[in-house]
Structure 1
């Protein structure tokens, strides 16, 4: 600053212009960083496979999942299952990679007996017109009488369910050392799969009946070999290879034990559907913002009023201070001081909806009774 006229010189102002330029570059960099964070989390293929998502969702309904849903799974099917892996989570894996169908037991007789003893209620009539009472159909015979034959399957109702995956990223910085400011960016991405299972049916055996049939199979002189640990692992080697025989150290006992646990399972109940409605929603949104406070420049105070017998303005006195000159201290910006603020908003979304109506019902879940293989003795 020139002391002669009290105005800031251009030479002294240029370093501050440089800092302003640095601030603008930083704002652009933060905007770019926020956008890149959005690109990282924007809708993308889910980290879990479709089979894993399906299995996780169906398991929440309290049944064991079947993926892909298929027609040829029935009550009486006997499987060897891998039920645990000491080195991995098998809960979400499809049945095709952790099970092998060994046999099918013809359980037609106990199924007929079971449903001959069940009640069958009259069908629900169509809803009436406005203002009219809903009259239900009465059965010609006692509804609590046993049925000699049954020509349809019992109905079952499942609530719709949603599979959701969310990814998020945040970036932020706050600096006042060089130019005073705060910067940030955030982004979120949601992928949801809504599934509604319509026209669901089910059939199966009571637990005691199913258990007796599995015990009969595993104690049969010919078939009981299949229920031993050695034979079960031999059969599963067809699916997973030689690693079915791997051993790991038990963290508690420090002894070796099989990596995989295997069991024999017989399907005791099947859940079927004839229609499935699936909706996949992908949505992403993000923002990047940056703000910098006003750059503080040296400002000259108003010149002091000259008084009689006082030292001339700009003269040095004995104390070493300058009368009427700029002290060189920075003034604090007022609340209305100019600043730099920027904000970016971006996002996208998509919806895919499908309705599948099948020619015949397919199994999407089941329940089973289990046999833990022994050493065959």
Structure 2
């Protein structure tokens, strides 16, 4: 087709009834809200609505024209929402732009300079522990995540050295092989996981200037997607918001529910590691090498042996408690081989009850 119109009268009413049950919000969608068209071998967008729209979190007014790229998000935001005018409006419908295979897709599979996609195990069977140079990991869980996987198989790690390491960038394509293995096959095959934006959020870690008990690193979350996310199931953050992360904080990206009764969405639990810089490297623990894989990034630090880290009492949550609220908030490489070290002898006597704040049980 030479062009495609999107709006309340451009598609069947049944589609909008399913996407936007709220009649008040549906009334903010114009008869022809925007139009997609071919322009110079690319795809262009023209906004036709007085209410405007959001492209990758930026507001586009009526008459605004933009060139689209693979992975862009187009969102309708409620113009009738009340609140401070300086706050971004909350999107209620988000479209993800999918372009045909080509060089542009290869570009979008790599995170921007200064960021890293992280590293993860390339097998369901994990024979070692986490990398020695891991600063933190995100453990993924939820009703659309494979329940047969052990915790380590659902984690991806941020590994870096230096005073200012790159940021961990999380998106739909940067961790594509991880998503393919971790998400339920039917859910992944249906493409329902498009709710994860191409650039959804990033975590920036910095070494503390002065040693502080608990961790030598601070990690800050920055939301990049107009779809936003929730922190600890209650606090909704929108594009541009930042949040200082604490151990066991859980980030939730809204996702279609399969009706399992658990908290809706795709959840990422933040698990920081402590690096014992004064400790010598431990000997091989007998597990043998375990392979990690990651998307390539020019700014990702090379694999360098780091001193052994200590984990303390923090372990990954594996079971969800019944939520107090009726619905959680939401809006919607090259392989590197490392030898891992056992953490079975770690002293777990002193537990700080980190999971009590997020609805997890240890």
> If the length of structure 1 is used for normalisation, what is the TM-score?
0.20
In terms of fraction of residues, the more strand-rich structure is: 1
Higher relative contact order (CA 8 A, sep 6+): 1
> If the length of structure 2 is used for normalisation, what is the TM-score?
0.20
